[in-house]
Amino acid sequence: MATPSVRSTGSAHPAPPTEWLGLLAEAQRQSAEAHATYQRVTAENHQLYLRTAHASMEALLGAAGVRLPAVGVDDPRPWPVAEVAVGATGAQVVPSGQPVHAPVPSGTVPGSGQPFRSGSGGDRDEATPAVPAPPPQATVVPSPVEAPAPGLVLLGPQPDALRPDGLPLDAESIGALLLEVVAERTGYPADIINLDMELEADLGIDSIKKVEVLSRVRQRVGELPAADLSELASLRTLREISVKVAQLAGQIDDAGDQASAGPSPVSPKPPGTSAPGSPEDVDSEPAAGPEATDAPAAEVPTATNRPEPVRLAVRALPLAPAGLALAGLRDRELLVLDDSTRVGHLLVEELAAHGVPARLVTGLPAEARSVILLDKGDDPPAVFAAVRGLADRLSSAGGLLVTVQDTGGDFGLSGNGGRPVHGGLDALARTAAREWPLATVKAIDCARTGRSDKQVAAAIAAELTAGGPSITVGLPADGSRTVPLACPVAPGPVEPRADADSVIVVTGGARGVTASAIRALAAAHRPRLVLLGRTALVEEPAGLAGATDEAGLIRLLATGPRQAPPAELAAEARRVLAVREVRQTLRALEDAGSPTRYLSVDTRDEVVLRDALAEVRRDWGPITGVVHGAGVIADRLIGAKTDEQFALVYSTKVDGLRALLAATADDPLSLLVAFTSASGVFGSPGQADYAMANTAVDHLLSAYAAAHPGCLTRSLAWGPWDGGMVTRTIAERFRAAGVELIEPAAGARAFVAELADPGGPTRVLRAAGDVAPDVLAGQGPVAELTLARPQYALLDDHRIDGAPVVPVAVLVHWFTGLARSWRPDTGPLVLHDLRVLRRIELQEPGERLVLRGRTRTDESARRGGLTVELGAVGAKYAGTVVADGPPPDPHRWRTPEGLEEVPEPYDGPALFHGPVFQVLDQVRLGADGGVAALRPRDVDPWLAVPWTVDVAALDGALQLAVGWTLRAGVGAALPMSIRECRIHRAGTDWGAARVVVSARRTDGMSAECDAAVLAEDGTVLAELLRVELIRRPDLTEG
């Protein structure tokens, strides 16, 4: 064996005894790091509890301070996320006037997919609330670090933020303030309201008005502790609220007294609070999307230079399983709710074979916390009621919810699923995932046609035990696996489907932003329009002409001869405004050149609808187009939503469309458009019923498009508009949170453009600007696995000191599987700083391992940065995964010079690998590196694990690196860390390949090299850069 002559930074001889002190110090450092990780995880869990409590309150109020999940058309990488720099020191200089994003430690909750707060609101970016920097000078802000006690930060605002106007904080003073604000915001005379009135029943204050009232109170009172804000959700009267606010303000007072008077660095700020002079977090509306017709229209702002709405289409993206189980799958007995087929029984058996305890039930017991709801999509109210029964437990203590539907395995995108109404189940799951951050939630669309019951059960069990944390997963009958994603799509050729001869029926088009869209259609093509709505065009009472808003009308109505309670006055004021808006829309349409009729009907009543349209046909001819924009909302968290609210919201959207399709079944429709909402695409806290209804509409239109290819069919999901349900107050709060709103004129143009693209996709999402989404409020994915035989029996051929040990290459599989589930549409993945903190051994009866991902806020955030830790208690392995790595340089990987053939590479203790892991062939090594061919890997037992990468090939590259350390004079060594692992080809189809090692440095105790896996044609499949190998203390130099 040749003595190394190059790349040596120290002695090439065996390390003297004193160098073992270095090994001991390294072991102590790793132990301390693991302990620090345990402490940080504990702190993060406490932070997650505080955030969850606050998020619950904000969701009920319609929290809208969340970014829309839209990406720019020119940049196909959707999912930039926030990142936390671990252990960073130093400071960052923030230029004057720019917002400082205060880092908030991320929680680690299950999730995947594409989260999002939507409808007329977006998701709150809870991870990085913006705090504006003082304008006079640059502000020095410490780099993000792990917060040792996040709870203390939440409860310690500056004292002068408590009562900006000197208001006393006792219940009596708060009560007087509430009455003042309610009178100001509603128009009620002060003498007709009192503290014992209920906000909804007596005062008619809906969630929109509640946002305004409580926001104004918070401005006057100051910040309130996030951990207790959720209690306000259960309070009904003004008096109850005044007492609670006084209690919360008192807590802040106590905390403020203990706060340090000296200057301090910017601290993480809980969502929903704001320092004096800083923009408040957005309290979102009941996000109904643009078609809500129950509220008066907001003032429409004048046109601005805001960008045109981004256009995205929902696609089914193929994605291999992650090889990881759902987090919490084995925490407790899993209850499978029977669907009256054999699938339930067979699924219980399949789960038992995977070591998952499960039981078939016909009803859910009160203590249920881990549940699988099999395909009950034909009865949406019953499904919702079942999930509602789980809300209290899963939102507060965590648990597991899996919904299973059959809409073709692609969530109805092909239109061939045959059961479109079942489409609401996945929207319910996505909303539950957003409302219950402590729970694990997954929606599975498993196609049954073409499969036996046993195959269906096996496919579901495989997804639960190996699919990873993806929230929404499709399992087509051909055995493939997909996830639905919103991807940028360019418009097609312009072929307008509307002209002056068209007869178009529009629901919900006389009011709100739907009216703005229809007015643009009239101006562009002048079709004949039939507007259907619930507002009866009655004359308003005399003497109201001088009032132009709800508050002004209430004041005038309160002085009239009719003495009515406040809620009735508010309802009457809204009716007056609604009639005015309808009349204004009708005049505008006629002025634009479109003959228009308005019919006050319940669009859910097919009989009434048929009669109304029959008269239209007699006068104007057959119906040629339908635009379904009607919809109502009743924002409540899942656990608080009533059957009546669900029925109204769901029926208006779904039954209204069904009735329209039935009433026009014999008409030659050339266009069919439904206004839906991003709440259906991404889920939306407080809007489970609305999300389910919109998703069911998506499925209905996909089915219609498949059956009527000549009709332009479009399900148009909108982000929030700057108008309609978004009042001026709400719009200001959206903008303060950095949420782009669709300008009405731009949204109207986008609508007209959709009606001129007959070849476009059926499901389209329109959102304002190039807005970066958050993913479940910046929290990372969680998954688990059980390291046990027989699945991991191959590790018996990877023994160190007689114990089967997990190789580093298997970590790459686990980490990339978690990251790919989190960011399924990214390019090549790069693992940074993959390091071994403590080795994991294969033991009996098997060890449960948990992978936790934390999204990051440093430079890698734009590339989907995710810090991953794996272990049971504390971290055993850790690394950071970044999406869209740099392309490889194929010229870099030349064969090193001076190599000698090694005929028996596994003849010795250094390469300790048993037959399964002996993948190297034709090995040649030298002081500068080595090269080897890879033997075939598509054989048992490698096939027992659903790998996300070619683990055998990666391990072969590391084996060659170990062989090189023998030639480099270090002796037998083990890889302990990899600075960068670049995976250029996902999956395991790497075929015939070779591995190359290039030396970097050596000393007596360690070595560093680069390695790569190359295809036969030289294509770089994977690169392992700066692999650090540490000499084994139990072996002498070979």
pLDDT digits (tens, 9 = 90+) for 996-1021: 999 999 998 999 999 999 999 999 99
Write the DSSP string, 336-389.
EE--SSTHHHHHHHHHHHTT--EEEESS--TT--EEEE-S-TT-HHHHHHHHHT
Whether the per-residue pLDDT at 305 is higher than 70: the answer is no
In this prediction, residue 619 carries a pLDDT of: 96
Mean pLDDT of the 371-400 span = 92
Mean pLDDT of the 93-109 span = 33
Mean pLDDT of the 337-362 span = 94
> What digits encode the pLDDT tens for the residues 600-649?
999 999 999 999 999 999 999 999 999 999 988 888 899 999 999 999 99
Mean pLDDT of the 152-171 span = 46
Roughly what angle, to the nearest 10 degrees, separates helices 453-466 and 343-353? Answer: 40
d(CA 82, CA 126): 10
Mean pLDDT of the 77-93 span = 30
In this prediction, residue 861 carries a pLDDT of: 46
Instruction: Please give the angle made by the CA atoms of 30, 34 and 38, to the nearest 5 degrees.
Output: 170
Q: Go through the chain and tell me how many residues it has.
A: 1038
Q: Are 1015 and 1021 in contact (CB under 8 A)?
A: yes
Q: 483-492, 587-596, 1028-1037: which has the highest mean pLDDT? A: 587-596
Whether the per-residue pLDDT at 484 is higher than 90: the answer is yes
In this prediction, residue 857 carries a pLDDT of: 59
In this prediction, residue 945 carries a pLDDT of: 86
Q: Are 982 and 1025 in contact (CB under 8 A)?
A: yes
Whether the per-residue pLDDT at 110 is higher than 70: the answer is no
What six digits make up the tokens of 471?
């929230």
**What is the pLDDT confidence band of residue 105, given thresholds at 50, 70 and 90?**
very low
In this prediction, residue 410 carries a pLDDT of: 95
> What digits encode the pLDDT tens for the residues 814-862?
999 999 898 887 778 899 998 887 888 998 888 889 998 887 655 544 4
In this prediction, residue 14 carries a pLDDT of: 41
**What is the pLDDT confidence band of residue 501, given thresholds at 50, 70 and 90?**
very high
Where do we find the tokens 């007015």?
519
Using the 8-state DSSP alphabet, how is residue 197 labeled? S
Q: Which of 273-287, 394-408, 504-518, 954-968 is predicted with the least confidence, judged by mean pLDDT?
A: 273-287
**What is the pLDDT confidence band of residue 553, given thresholds at 50, 70 and 90?**
very high
In this prediction, residue 231 carries a pLDDT of: 62
Q: Which of 366-375, 394-403, 641-650, 761-770 is predicted with the least confidence, judged by mean pLDDT?
A: 761-770
Task: Enumerate residues 6+ apart whose C-beta is below 8 A from 21.
Answer: none
Helix H or strand E encompassing 718:
strand 712-718
Whether the per-residue pLDDT at 768 is higher than 70: the answer is yes
> What digits encode the pLDDT tens for the residues 440-469?
999 999 999 999 999 999 999 999 999 999
**What is the pLDDT confidence band of residue 230, given thresholds at 50, 70 and 90?**
low
- Structural domains of the chain, with CATH: 154-280 (1.10.1200), 320-480 (3.40.50.11460), 503-542+582-768 (3.40.50.720), 890-1031 (3.10.129.120)
In this prediction, residue 615 carries a pLDDT of: 94
**What is the pLDDT confidence band of residue 864, given thresholds at 50, 70 and 90?**
low
Handedness of CA 690, 695, 701, 707 (dihedral sign): negative
In this prediction, residue 223 carries a pLDDT of: 66
Whether the per-residue pLDDT at 159 is higher than 70: the answer is no
Kindly give the pairing relationship between strand 528-533 and strand 503-507: parallel
Residue 849 β-bridge partners? 785
In this prediction, residue 420 carries a pLDDT of: 72
Query: What is the percent of the chain where pLDDT is above 70?
Result: 73
Which residue in 81, 85, 84 sits closest to 113, CA to CA? 81
Q: Of residues 234 and 665, which shows the higher confidence score? A: 665
Q: Of residues 909 and 36, which shows the higher confidence score? A: 909
Q: Of residues 779 and 439, which shows the higher confidence score? A: 439
**What is the pLDDT confidence band of residue 882, given thresholds at 50, 70 and 90?**
confident
Helix H or strand E encompassing 676:
strand 671-677
Whether the per-residue pLDDT at 364 is higher than 90: the answer is yes
In this prediction, residue 123 carries a pLDDT of: 34
d(CA 163, CA 165): 5
Q: Across the chain, how many H-helices and E-strands are there?
A: 22, 34
Mean pLDDT score across all residues of the chain: 78
d(CA 682, CA 484): 10
In this prediction, residue 938 carries a pLDDT of: 74
Mapping DSSP to helix (H, G, I), strand (E, B) and coil, where does residue 601 land?
coil
Whether the per-residue pLDDT at 150 is higher than 50: the answer is no
Q: Of residues 234 and 78, which shows the higher confidence score? A: 234
Whether the per-residue pLDDT at 12 is higher than 50: the answer is no
d(CA 233, CA 641): 12
In this prediction, residue 803 carries a pLDDT of: 92
**What is the pLDDT confidence band of residue 897, given thresholds at 50, 70 and 90?**
very high
Q: Is 119 left (phi over 0), alpha (psi -120 to 50) or beta?
A: left
**What is the pLDDT confidence band of residue 564, given thresholds at 50, 70 and 90?**
confident
Whether the per-residue pLDDT at 21 is higher than 80: the answer is no
d(CA 787, CA 789): 7
Query: What is the percent of the chain where pLDDT is above 90?
Result: 50
In this prediction, residue 865 carries a pLDDT of: 74
Mean pLDDT of the 154-177 span = 59
